[in-house]
């Protein structure tokens, strides 16, 4: 990196968003990608903990800011710019660019080309400029200005201010928890308003004129204000709604949960055309018959793995590690008890091609004797200490939770922070996954559903799981979340908010076939891939504990997301059956 002796950039407060000034001063890093292409042949730049200026003029490049206030400037190619933490200024170039603000107040400018701009957390200011752009403010009170072209503006939680421009734009409105979306320049007969919640219909809306224009209400809640628009001019043609019949099919599946001997379940679905629905069925507590709620948190078990993988791949993008680093390089003391540790790579751990035995079988037997015992990475690794590997690294596939325990330790070794801190800083906070926690290292506010299992019962009856939070894994498990939060995660994973497109492609394609060749199952870098038919494939992960079953999947061809969570042990198979029914309901609906 080149040191900039005098590098100062000021981004003033703009359009009433109260953005803090962003300064790049003495000691900041200045990197010009074109001027130093010999040193930076991979066209991937990252900052550190100081204020960084990353500049690019040509090529398809990855520019990643650090933890402070950064300036990232794309060039002529299709660039990926991620501000990270801090208040950042990101500007694309003439290509099709991805701009991701991160978890603070950011300024994003798309410039030319058809760009994807994600503000994520914080109160952001986003300009689309030229091209047909997609502007997603994320959470917070954001200002989105589309510019020229036919653009899509998205407000998931309400409180944003939209300005579309002269061309036909689509304004997407979510739950409105942060207040009404302000649309400054809605054009009757040209623009459209899309209510993201599945099940909303025109007949359920009410309109009220005020000093600004027209307010739109749904079930008594104000969702939008159309400035300068008369309510009499609005017709159903100005709106886009999802098909409510799919919601009815999904609710039927939820209502059948209790018939399948599962106490309760929650569900989150994103349809191919972007409509969102969450639901719950059954009970959260058998004794009190408390109804299951969509806000109920459950242990997601192995669905933690793609989150840990995403962090490892982000560290790779930032140049902090290589997937070809050996296990012994990062964990010399721990790996001294593991065969082939000098040739086992991080890539082998990610796609379960290391050959390292799984600790979980023996650990579960010990847990059955003492369900309330605590756990730790060191405790888990004792169960494979000195055991031979199943095969040479890279010579096969064997699903092993031990791989991700080791990856969790690698993340801590590379960053110098706890795994919980990394999950929060890199995933939970930027994506506003406010109901997600890492139970082994964090106190979960309120509570989460412990779920039910027969594993500890002597007579086969369902009992509340009493497994300690620290015994729920380390890297291989341990995240507590909701169906809605997991839906947000898998969507962000596939749409470029967490990983550059080239990195996500590697996550999918660097895979091994499962042990059963007839199962049409592959495992990438923390990502399960299940081929249902020649045209239908699912990407994501399943997770099961003695108390919960979780399935999180995205269909790349059909482009829907489905997350199911049951408060019953995976051993009973009921949760997997429910997940299958949900996927079948969505596919059947799409075929109509």
Q: What is the pLDDT of residues 237-295, one digit of tens each?
A: 999 999 989 999 999 989 888 777 789 999 999 999 999 999 999 999 888 899 999 99
Residue 210 clears pLDDT 90, i.e. is over it: yes
Q: Say if 246 falls within a structural domain.
A: no
Q: Say if 42 falls within a structural domain.
A: yes
**Overall domain count for the chain:** 2
Beta bridge partners of residue 415, listed in sequence order: none
Q: Say if 323 falls within a structural domain.
A: yes
Question: Which phi and psi (to 5°) does residue 92 adopt?
Answer: -80, -170
Q: What is the mean predicted confidence (pLDDT) over 13-32? A: 36
State residue 517's pLDDT score. Answer: 61
Q: Say if 529 falls within a structural domain.
A: yes
Residue 30 clears pLDDT 50, i.e. is over it: no
Q: Are residues 87 and 121 in the same domain?
A: yes
E strand or H helix at 485: helix 483-495
Q: Are residues 276 and 225 in the same domain?
A: no
Q: Residues 12, 16, 17, 21: what is their CA dihedral angle, to the nearest 10 degrees?
A: 20
E strand or H helix at 438: strand 437-438
DSSP per residue over 352-420, as a string? T-S-PPPSHHHHHHHHHH-TT----HHHHHGGGTTPPPSSSTTS-----HHHHHHHHHHHHHHHSS-HH
Beta bridge partners of residue 537, listed in sequence order: 531
Q: Are residues 321 and 374 in the same domain?
A: yes
Q: Are residues 164 and 262 in the same domain?
A: no
Q: Are residues 70 and 46 in the same domain?
A: yes
CATH number at residue 504: 3.40.710.10
Q: Are residues 230 and 311 in the same domain?
A: no
State residue 552's pLDDT score. Answer: 97
Share of the chain above pLDDT 90, in %: 66
**Stretch among 25-34, 111-120, 562-571 having the lowest mean pLDDT:** 25-34
State residue 57's pLDDT score. Answer: 56
Residue 564 clears pLDDT 60, i.e. is over it: yes
- Interatomic CA distance for residues 339 and 514, integer angstroms: 23
CA 33 to chain centre: 29
CB atoms within 10 A of CB 419: 26
Instruction: Give, in order, the Cα–Cα distances in Å from 170 to each of 186, 244, 256, 512.
Output: 10, 20, 37, 41
Per-residue DSSP letter, 16 = T
Q: What is the mean predicted confidence (pLDDT) over 112-120? A: 93
- Interatomic CA distance for residues 166 and 148, integer angstroms: 7
Measured in residues, the chain has a length of 592
**Stretch among 4-8, 212-216, 422-426, 451-455 having the lowest mean pLDDT:** 4-8
* pLDDT band for position 515 (cuts 50, 70, 90): low
Q: Are residues 468 and 329 in the same domain?
A: yes
Which three-class secondary structure state does DSSP give residue 332? helix
Q: Say if 120 falls within a structural domain.
A: yes
Beta strands across the sheet bearing 192-195: 44-46, 62-64, 80-82, 98-100, 116-118, 134-136, 152-155, 170-173, 192-195, 239-240
- Interatomic CA distance for residues 356 and 263, integer angstroms: 36
Residue 147 clears pLDDT 80, i.e. is over it: yes
Q: Say if 149 falls within a structural domain.
A: yes
Q: Which tens digit of pLDDT belongs to each residue from 463-505?
A: 788 777 777 889 999 999 999 999 999 999 999 999 999 999 9
Q: Which tens digit of pLDDT belongs to each residue from 362-386?
A: 998 888 888 777 889 999 999 999 8
Structure token pair of residue 493:
């994973």
Q: Say if 247 falls within a structural domain.
A: no
Residue 86 clears pLDDT 90, i.e. is over it: no
Residue span of the structural domain in which 327 resides: 252-283+293-591
- Interatomic CA distance for residues 37 and 505, integer angstroms: 24
Which three-class secondary structure state does DSSP give residue 261? coil
Residue 11 clears pLDDT 50, i.e. is over it: no
Structure token pair of residue 291:
């109804």
pTM of the model: 0.90
β-strands 239-240, 264-270 pairing: unpaired
Q: Are residues 341 and 457 in the same domain?
A: yes
- Interatomic CA distance for residues 110 and 345, integer angstroms: 38
Instruction: Give, in order, the Cα–Cα distances in Å from 429 to each of 137, 436, 443, 523, 556.
Output: 14, 9, 16, 27, 26
CA angle 380, 383, 386 (to 5 degrees): 125
Q: Which tens digit of pLDDT belongs to each residue from 124-145?
A: 999 999 999 999 999 989 999 9
* pLDDT band for position 59 (cuts 50, 70, 90): low
Q: Are residues 232 and 302 in the same domain?
A: no
Q: Are residues 223 and 305 in the same domain?
A: no
Q: Which tens digit of pLDDT belongs to each residue from 176-205?
A: 999 999 999 999 999 999 999 999 999 999
Q: Are residues 209 and 263 in the same domain?
A: no
Q: Angle of helix 304-317 relative to helix 401-415, nearest 10 degrees?
A: 40
State residue 183's pLDDT score. Answer: 98
Of 173, 207, 240, the residue at which a domain comes to its end is 240
Residue carrying structure tokens 């503006």: 153
Q: Are residues 414 and 529 in the same domain?
A: yes
Residue 161 clears pLDDT 90, i.e. is over it: yes
Of 177, 207, 240, the residue at which a domain comes to its end is 240
Radius of gyration of the chain (CA): 24
Beta strands across the sheet bearing 479-481: 298-299, 479-481, 437-438
Q: What is the chain's mean pLDDT, rounded?
A: 87
Q: Say if 288 falls within a structural domain.
A: no
């Amino acid at each position: 990196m080149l040191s900039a002796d005098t590098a100062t950039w000021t981004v003033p407060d703009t359009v009433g968003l109260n953005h803090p000034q962003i300064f790049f001063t003495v000691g900041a890093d200045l990197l010009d990608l074109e001027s130093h292409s010999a040193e930076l042949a991979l066209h991937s730049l990252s900052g550190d903990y100081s204020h960084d200026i990353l500049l690019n003029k040509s090529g398809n490049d990855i520019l990643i800011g650090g933890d402070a206030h950064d300036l990232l400037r794309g060039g002529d190619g299709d660039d990926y710019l991620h501000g990270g933490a801090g208040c950042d200024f990101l500007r694309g170039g003439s290509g099709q660019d991805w701009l991701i603000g991160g978890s603070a107040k950011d300024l994003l400018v798309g410039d030319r080309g058809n760009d994807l701009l994600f503000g994520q957390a914080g109160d952001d200011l986003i300009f689309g400029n030229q091209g047909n752009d997609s502007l997603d403010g994320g959470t917070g009170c954001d200002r989105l200005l589309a510019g020229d072209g036919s653009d899509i503006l998205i407000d998931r939680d309400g409180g944003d201010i939209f300005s579309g421009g002269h061309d036909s734009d689509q304004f997407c409105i979510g739950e409105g928890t942060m207040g009404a979306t302000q649309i400054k320049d809605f054009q009757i007969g040209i623009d459209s308003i899309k209510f993201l919640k599945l099940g909303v219909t025109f007949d359920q809306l009410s309109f009220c004129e005020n000093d600004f224009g027209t307010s739109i209400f749904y079930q008594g809640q104000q969702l939008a204000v159309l400035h300068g628009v008369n309510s009499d001019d609005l017709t159903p043609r100005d709106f886009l709604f999802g098909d409510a019949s799919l919601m009815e099919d999904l609710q039927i599946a939820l209502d059948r949960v209790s018939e399948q001997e599962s106490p309760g379940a929650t569900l989150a679905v994103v349809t191919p055309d972007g409509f969102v629905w969450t639901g719950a069925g059954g009970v959260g507590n058998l004794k009190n018959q408390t109804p299951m709620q969509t806000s109920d948190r459950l242990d997601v078990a192995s669905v933690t793995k793609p989150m840990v993988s995403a962090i490892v791949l982000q560290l790779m993008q930032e140049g902090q590690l290589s997937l070809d680093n050996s296990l012994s390089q990062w964990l010399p003391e721990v790996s001294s008890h593991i065969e082939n540790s000098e040739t086992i790579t991080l890539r082998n751990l990610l796609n379960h091609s290391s050959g390292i035995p799984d600790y979980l079988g023996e650990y579960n037997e010990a847990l059955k004797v003492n369900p309330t015992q605590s756990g730790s990475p060191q405790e888990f690794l004792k169960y494979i200490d000195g055991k031979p590997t199943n095969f040479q690294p890279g010579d096969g596939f064997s699903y092993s939770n031990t791989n991700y325990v080791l990856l969790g330790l690698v993340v801590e070794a590379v960053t110098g922070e706890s795994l919980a801190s990394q999950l929060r800083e890199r995933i939970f906070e930027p994506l506003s996954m406010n109901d997600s926690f890492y139970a082994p290292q964090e106190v979960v506010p309120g509570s989460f559903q412990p779920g039910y299992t027969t594993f500890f019962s002597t007579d086969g009856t369902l009992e509340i799981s009493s497994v300690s939070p620290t015994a729920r894994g380390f890297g291989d498990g341990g995240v507590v979340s909701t169906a809605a939060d997991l839906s947000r995660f898998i969507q962000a994973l596939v749409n470029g908010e967490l990983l550059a497109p080239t990195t996500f492609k590697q996550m999918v394609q660097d895979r091994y076939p499962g042990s059963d060749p007839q199962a049409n199952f592959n495992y990438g870098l923390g990502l399960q891939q299940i081929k249902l038919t020649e045209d239908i494939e699912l990407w994501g992960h399943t997770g099961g504990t003695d108390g919960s079953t979780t399935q999180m999947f995205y269909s790349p061809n059909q482009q829907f997301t489905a997350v199911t969570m049951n408060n019953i042990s995976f051993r009973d198979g009921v949760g997997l059956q429910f997940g299958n029914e949900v996927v079948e309901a969505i596919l059947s609906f799409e075929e109509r």
